[in-house]
Structure 1
Amino acid sequence: MPIHRKSISVALVLAAACSTTAFAGGFQRGTADTDILFEPGTMNTRVSLTYVDPQRGLTSINGQDGDFGDYTGDYLIPNYSVSFGNEVFGCAGTATESFAANADYSGAPGGALPSQVSSTQSTSTADRLDFATATSISQTQRLAFESQELGLTCRVSYQADSGRYSLLGGVFVEDFHFEGTSFGTITRGPQAGLRTRVEVESDGGYKAGFRIGAAYEIPEYALRIQAMYRSEVKHDDITGDGTVTFLNAPITPITVESALSEATSPQFVDIKAQTGIAPGWLLLGSFRWTDWSTNEVSVSSISNPNFGISSSSYAPYHWRDGYTAQIGVGHAFNDQISAAVAVGYDSGVSTGAETTYTDLYTLSGGVSFKANKMAELRFGGLVGYWTSGDQSTSQDSYYNATVGDDMVYGINASLRLTF
């Protein structure tokens, strides 16, 4: 028996998953809403907002146990898309926050992470812990970055007796913005003992990338299989300025130049599938592989030759590639209301150099309300269980730490208008 396409929309996956990629291992946030290319109508526009509250905190630092508070901050992910086209051809403009991270270690002992040698540009853990020869040391208090993506993706479709075949492709541009705060101490020379607070802000210009994919559909059975590849983007021009404030001496703050080493938004492959299994019922599934192993080490540096300032701090990642899988079921109660529920798994990418991104198990659900042929509202929610983890100097971290079992929560809302 045919399962009519109008009964359940593939976009219900978005509500059920509550923008699940926002919880994926690594720095993943939003994904361009190219699914809007498959919505019926000559013109569609969709606006969505996802709120995420990842509750991750360190349970021990260099052997000291304690409740140091959550260092992962909550955040919002906006997502915008608009499409024009017909059954044969269509294009969609998209905008989202593609990658980002925010960590605040003010709750750690001393109000920051353990010390590392800052009088070096080395990415060697041994060099970063060689305090005997250091002329300055630093402690990271806060790190944050974000990348905004603007894209255009098009679809070309061919209807055959066996189904509808589509090719998808497009381009996008992505920028990079970084902010950091750290404490510094001069350990040698006439200024030994001088303590500082360093605040920097650096930006990278827009860099281009591309996405390409394909889809196969049998609309009368609500069957669709879609694969999409997104290229990596390398940001190698992240520069800006900052301020060095002296904490224990009456010295006027000094302006410095700042820079961040090359940052890579990794390539990934997204596979989505759905099929009708009975009238009004839909089976949903998705899989994503992400090349997180490109993220090795990040170095933030400052300089001011006039004052002899040259310092840096680093963050080791040494991630492995990650994948996210999800399976769920959707049901249309009537022409106006549909719902879905899904379970998911995100493989941890941490290898022992940092603790944040361990295995994550999720349960999500969503509801779709179609007020009329022109408007649709979707609401979704997610709860996730983050497994415990640890990091150590033996795995190229510059301090030992552990995290316990933690939770992640999220909600999502979107509005689609069709013309």
Structure 2
Amino acid sequence: MKYVYSGAAALLISTAPALAGGIDRSGQFLGPLWEPGDYAEFSWTLAKPTLSTNTLNLGAGPSNTGDVAGTYNSVGLAYKKQFNENFSGAVMFGQPFGSDISYPGAADGGSLYLQGTGAEIDTQEVVGVVRYVFPQSGFGVHGGIRALSTTAKADLGGAIWDARGIDGYHLDIDRETDFGWLAGVSWEKPEIAARIALTFNSSITHDFDTIQSIPGMQVPEDITEVKMPKSVNLEFQTGISPTMLVLGSIRWVDWSEFKVRPSVLGGTSLTHFEDSTTYTLGVAKKFTDQWSGAVSFQYEGGGDGVGTPLSPYEGRKGITLAAIYTQDNLKITTGISYVRLSQSDVGIGDPGERLVVGETDDRKGWGVGVKVGYSF
């Protein structure tokens, strides 16, 4: 039971956030830490979102932006060491946050209102975590350090921004690495393949060296402070038969503290995210000694129902299927996810002064993932 879960749950989580809350991509879960013995893994995920917006008639007639979401992939590496019966540790690499939005020009089927608008955010994270299990109790504690490296760039283009005098605005944020921490508790009962784990991830503050430009205007280099959000993860599982178990997770992220406020924009943030809570519930089934499978469903509320041009969606529902092949110490897991995004308006400006400029049209995403794990 435990061996089936470890592969299924990790892929159910890693392929599901093709379009999760804010700029979430990985979920920051600690799957390798729960593996038995010494363990190493490699994972790869590919996501293909499709997202477009119908802009309102703001003077030049309504139009559609065309697909603005870029395909992306991410990789993960992990090594877990079991030092003794009660003490273990792991080192993990991942890409927890990201964004790839680009509005095509009107000549390429895009909208005059937002052509040239876009954003790219890239993160890389190394996590070091240790865990201690209290003897004969099932209870454990874990904690560690997160090193997060982030870089980003953004462009504002089209008639909407031209009306505000910032058409052609470009933001370039140099890569910055800063540190945060994590801490949590867990409980296990191996006899029924039961586990529950709660983890808190602290926020991480970056002070970015920033280059900004606007056509016809001289803009000095600056420092932009951005707080990457804190989060809480709850993971759980329990066996319901010798070959089947129920598994799930709840993830809350404090996205309201994630603001990008370049000085040239007078304090207006380029991002306006609501806090997100993502629920995942599924079952895993062992069919033979080599083959197992799993299915899960995801739900995330829609917040205030208003996205931004750089993140034009709020809320989602999804389904993920996974297959696990096990041979001796080798385990290969594959998964596929489909996500349907909630209908939302698209607005610009801070809440309270927001101007709605459109509403989402086509809004879905596919994700596939592969993970190879080896126990030794």
Q: Which bin holds the TM-score, normalised by the shorter protein?
A: 0.7 to 0.9
Q: CA deviation at 1:98?
A: 1.8
| Preserved CA contact (<8 Å) 1:300 1:312 | yes
* Structure 2 CA distance for partners of 1:84 and 1:362, relative to 1, 3 Å: same
Instruction: State the Cα deviation string for residues 68-102 of structure 1 (Å, max 9, x = none).
Output: 21112121121111111143111111111121112
Question: Given the two structures, how large is their TM-score scaled by the length of structure 1?
Answer: 0.78
Secondary structure of 1:282's match?
A: strand
Report the equivalent of 1:249. Answer: none
The AA in structure 2 aligned to 1:24 is A
* Structure 2 CA distance for partners of 1:409 and 1:395, relative to 1, 3 Å: farther
Q: CA deviation at 1:232?
A: 0.8
Report the equivalent of 1:238. Answer: 208
Report the equivalent of 2:15. Answer: 19
Larger radius of gyration, structure 1 or 2?
Answer: 1
Deviates more, 1:82-91 or 1:281-290: 82-91
Q: CA deviation at 1:395?
A: 4.7
Question: Given the two structures, how large is their TM-score scaled by the length of structure 2?
Answer: 0.86
Please give the alpha-carbon distance, in whole angstroms, between the structure 2 residues aligned to 1:145 and 1:212. 26
Please give the alpha-carbon distance, in whole angstroms, between the structure 2 residues aligned to 1:74 and 1:259. 31
| Preserved CA contact (<8 Å) 2:209 2:224 | no
Is there any run of 5+ residues in structure 1 with no aligned partner, and where? 116-138, 186-193, 247-253, 303-310
* Structure 2 CA distance for partners of 1:67 and 1:96, relative to 1, 3 Å: same
The AA in structure 1 aligned to 2:232 is V
The yes-or-no answer on 1:103 pairing with 2:101 is yes
Q: CA deviation at 1:405?
A: 5.0
Please give the alpha-carbon distance, in whole angstroms, between the structure 1 residues aligned to 2:275 and 2:27. 18
Deviates more, 1:335-344 or 1:355-364: 355-364
Identity %: 23
Please give the alpha-carbon distance, in whole angstroms, between the structure 2 residues aligned to 1:40 and 1:48. 18
| Preserved CA contact (<8 Å) 1:147 1:175 | yes
The yes-or-no answer on 1:413 pairing with 2:370 is yes
Please give the alpha-carbon distance, in whole angstroms, between the structure 2 residues aligned to 1:215 and 1:102. 35
Matches within 5 A, 1:82-231: 82-85=79-82, 86-107=84-105, 114=113, 141-160=117-136, 163-182=137-156, 197=168, 199-231=170-202
| Preserved CA contact (<8 Å) 2:131 2:142 | yes
Please give the alpha-carbon distance, in whole angstroms, between the structure 1 residues aligned to 2:225 and 2:152. 12
Report the equivalent of 2:162. Answer: none
The yes-or-no answer on 1:271 pairing with 2:234 is yes
Report the equivalent of 1:323. Answer: 277
Please give the alpha-carbon distance, in whole angstroms, between the structure 2 residues aligned to 1:62 and 1:77. 38
Deviates more, 1:269-278 or 1:82-91: 82-91
| Preserved CA contact (<8 Å) 1:345 1:360 | yes
Tell me the number of residue pairs that the alignment of Structure 1 and Structure 2 aligns.
363
Deviates more, 1:276-285 or 1:255-264: 255-264
Secondary structure of 2:97's match?
A: strand
Please give the alpha-carbon distance, in whole angstroms, between the structure 2 residues aligned to 1:242 and 1:321. 28
* Structure 2 CA distance for partners of 1:17 and 1:184, relative to 1, 3 Å: closer
The AA in structure 1 aligned to 2:245 is L
Report the equivalent of 1:361. Answer: 317
Secondary structure of 1:159's match?
A: coil
